[in-house]
Structure 1
């Protein structure tokens, strides 16, 4: 007889038991893994008196006193540019100016008040408020700020905004259109300031950092190098200025005017002022030495006196010589191929009083040869009002020496 355990029925029951047992083990395991964390258990122990004492393994309750947040450590500058910006950036300001401008009177019939009453043409406003913004930087802790003269020219109101968000009403205490430098005063103290570097020692290739508010984008930083020094005002299209500009490829846009151009040490080497339309990589700044000198005079007296001779001149070349000699209306006959041709002498000017004439060719000033009109302008700008200059010139083939005492350009323009 076969054993009961080997019957098919017995084997089926055994398999079923194993299956159920395995399922139960799996279910118990799953329940154990997914159940909630156990609560604190209570252990019992006998005291010396034989009583049962309960001890709970509970965690220490949290301290209700809030922990103060940790103070973020100051950011470490990653290069010399961020170091400069962090140190001197607060001394750069935004300047907003408002001025009232008068619209030109039109000449069309409908702008005549007589016709307006019949045709219902509205009265056109003759005045409107013009708003503009630029940049500047703090000269001293007492609230003197330097900017471009064209930023505040004709302004009725001036508002100065610091990097920390504070705003002040500004007062223009002096403006010099000839160098495009102006000084604004605000009622504040303990302001961050900028130091000036000696701009006479600048060399092409040195680092340049510009900070300002171009296109209304406050606290914008751009970098580049000094591309050139000694650019004349006529070279960059502003012949009415008396400045030898610094050229840089640091991006300068409208709104940067009046902001500082800095070196790698965070010192002001110039004041950003001019751009050439449709040019890329060309910006210009007034040298720091000029800005400092003009600002000091504006703070002291409210104006700047510029020496002048009272002549109009052009650098002589063979082409200019031939054009003048062929033109019967020029009124000039030129024999020299080089030098500075005096085209016109202003009436009642220092040059007129000294005996200079149109057609004279200027060769040297105080013994120093001059070869361009820009050199003559700079030689005059380097002396004081009332100082005498010795001019060597050619007239009708003869060499003459005349002495001219410089006058004040500001007085002549009144």
Structure 2
């Protein structure tokens, strides 16, 4: 049987053009001939390059040969590989730890001249790496000496010049500080502080207190607070009062007179030529005016703080314990730092004049220190009361003769009369229980404290108009004030 006929599938013309034999080629490889592209070879080497880098004429040896096949080195040089086939020199040997790569040249050491063995390098060889002529070394030494001498002379001159600058220097004297012109806080404090005293009160049975005061008369009269010299009514005639001046002078003081209702007192010391603080007009103060408080807060004598007038005509009510009458006065409110111990000290304006006697502070719950709410008795009230105390030993205040309480309602706001004293000023003027007093003279009344300070702004015997509300109607009644 004959072989099976070959089944040749049809050849795609596109694939034949890509993978088929070239036209006219029958075998598996194209025949070499002039019809095929021949490989382009590099041009022949020029004669100059062949002479410089080619092999010597007549030799065909390669540059790298294994050991034992001859050497290119000259005959008078040792072969690269030693005869014992050191593994460090044989690239075909395994990596082992052995002797140094080069053999010890014992023969060369033996052949060395006895005079050369152990020879040390000289200093010129160490410095310059070669031998130097002695004359050159001499020149180099002279140059080094000249450079050193020049440096020493220059340093000596520089040091001498520095000594003359520091030894003979005269610093310019500073001029008086420009931040302390007349009228500054420092200037006011310097003028006022000698008139301010620290007051110490000691009880015979133990205990005591401290505060401040201000000299108001050359005879040694000092204005202070009632609660300072009497320890809020706890001190008696046996209490010892001492005034301490800023210059260190200590003087025993005696009480001239006190006014518990306005928290004022006058004491007297026997000193020579004391500094006296002049009274100012507290009625001329305005909110925002600068003020300075001086005293002994927390026992720190001769302390100065600065602030402004925060409010005017602020009724303050304090005390009233131990059966005493409550303290009520028309206060100057300030944010100058005032603490316990400032009581009785002066509050002065920007001219250094006395405009108030520091008396009380208001603190938040759990805080007894300053929170920027201090109160001072106006100097106009303090002057009138202290003059009466020095002259008479006591002072009388205008009195309405009625007990009141604060009320605030849609129809009326002011001080409502609770009861009227028989034969008093209110009873004589026809004021009855239930009337709401809203104004005394020119002073608006919104609380019971405001009624008290409005009445005390007048003198006993003065007749003032009183505006009140009664059964929805407003009435104006003339009242002649009595005395307490």
TM-score, normalisation: structure 1: 0.67
Whole-Å separation in 1 of the counterparts to 2:391 and 2:468 = 38
Matched, 1:250 2:250: no
1:384 paired residue number: 459
Matched, 1:87 2:200: no
User: Contact between 2:211 and 2:296, CA under 8 Å: does it hold in 1?
Assistant: yes
Whole-Å separation in 1 of the counterparts to 2:267 and 2:175 = 36
1:342 paired residue number: 417
Matched, 1:13 2:134: yes
Go from structure 1 to structure 2 and tell me whether the alpha carbon gap of 1:141 and 1:345 turns closer, same or farther (over 3 Å shift): same
* 1:373 CA drift (Å): 3.2
User: Contact between 1:135 and 1:212, CA under 8 Å: does it hold in 2?
Assistant: yes
**Aligned counterpart for 1:281 among listed residues 365, 368, 372:** 372
Go from structure 1 to structure 2 and tell me whether the alpha carbon gap of 1:391 and 1:260 turns closer, same or farther (over 3 Å shift): closer
Matched, 1:226 2:309: yes
Q: Secondary structure at the match of 2:133?
A: helix
Matched, 1:143 2:220: yes
2:405 paired residue number: 314
Report Cα offsets for 1:141-194 as digits up to 9, x if no partner. Answer: 221111111111126111111111111111111111111111111101311111
* 1:13 CA drift (Å): 1.2
User: Contact between 1:308 and 1:380, CA under 8 Å: does it hold in 2?
Assistant: yes
* 1:81 CA drift (Å): 0.9
Go from structure 1 to structure 2 and tell me whether the alpha carbon gap of 1:77 and 1:174 turns closer, same or farther (over 3 Å shift): farther
Q: Secondary structure at the match of 1:241?
A: strand
User: Contact between 1:139 and 1:146, CA under 8 Å: does it hold in 2?
Assistant: yes
1:187 paired residue number: 270
Gaps of 5+ in 1: 1-8, 36-70, 101-127, 320-335, 410-414
User: Contact between 1:135 and 1:257, CA under 8 Å: does it hold in 2?
Assistant: yes
* 1:285 CA drift (Å): 0.8
* 1:195 CA drift (Å): 1.2
Q: Secondary structure at the match of 2:262?
A: coil
Go from structure 1 to structure 2 and tell me whether the alpha carbon gap of 1:75 and 1:10 turns closer, same or farther (over 3 Å shift): closer
2:126 paired residue number: none
| Relative contact order higher in (CA < 8 Å, ≥ 6 apart) | 1
Whole-Å separation in 2 of the counterparts to 1:170 and 1:14 = 103
1:178 paired residue number: 261
RMSD, aligned CA: 3.8
Gaps of 5+ in 2: 1-129, 157-172, 365-369
Q: Secondary structure at the match of 2:403?
A: strand
* 1:284 CA drift (Å): 0.9
Report Cα offsets for 1:207-264 as digits up to 9, x if no partner. Answer: 1111111112222111111111000124x89892231100111111111111111111
User: Contact between 1:354 and 1:402, CA under 8 Å: does it hold in 2?
Assistant: yes
Larger Rg: 2
**Aligned counterpart for 2:386 among listed residues 278, 292, 295:** 295
Go from structure 1 to structure 2 and tell me whether the alpha carbon gap of 1:132 and 1:73 turns closer, same or farther (over 3 Å shift): farther
Segment of structure 1 superposing worse, 279-288 or 337-346: 337-346
Whole-Å separation in 2 of the counterparts to 1:30 and 1:183 = 82
User: Contact between 1:91 and 1:137, CA under 8 Å: does it hold in 2?
Assistant: yes
Q: Secondary structure at the match of 1:190?
A: coil
User: Contact between 1:393 and 1:401, CA under 8 Å: does it hold in 2?
Assistant: yes
Whole-Å separation in 1 of the counterparts to 2:214 and 2:266 = 10
* 1:288 CA drift (Å): 0.7
Go from structure 1 to structure 2 and tell me whether the alpha carbon gap of 1:72 and 1:394 turns closer, same or farther (over 3 Å shift): closer
Whole-Å separation in 1 of the counterparts to 2:155 and 2:409 = 101
Go from structure 1 to structure 2 and tell me whether the alpha carbon gap of 1:291 and 1:401 turns closer, same or farther (over 3 Å shift): closer
1:213 paired residue number: 296
* 1:356 CA drift (Å): 5.4
1:267 paired residue number: 353
Go from structure 1 to structure 2 and tell me whether the alpha carbon gap of 1:93 and 1:398 turns closer, same or farther (over 3 Å shift): closer
Segment of structure 1 superposing worse, 243-252 or 375-384: 375-384
Go from structure 1 to structure 2 and tell me whether the alpha carbon gap of 1:190 and 1:75 turns closer, same or farther (over 3 Å shift): farther
TM-score, normalisation: structure 2: 0.58
Matched, 1:240 2:315: no
Count of aligned positions: 325
Q: Secondary structure at the match of 2:327?
A: coil
Go from structure 1 to structure 2 and tell me whether the alpha carbon gap of 1:318 and 1:30 turns closer, same or farther (over 3 Å shift): closer
2:180 paired residue number: 78
Go from structure 1 to structure 2 and tell me whether the alpha carbon gap of 1:219 and 1:406 turns closer, same or farther (over 3 Å shift): same
Segment of structure 1 superposing worse, 364-373 or 184-193: 364-373
Higher strand share: 1
1:134 paired residue number: 211
Whole-Å separation in 1 of the counterparts to 2:361 and 2:218 = 30
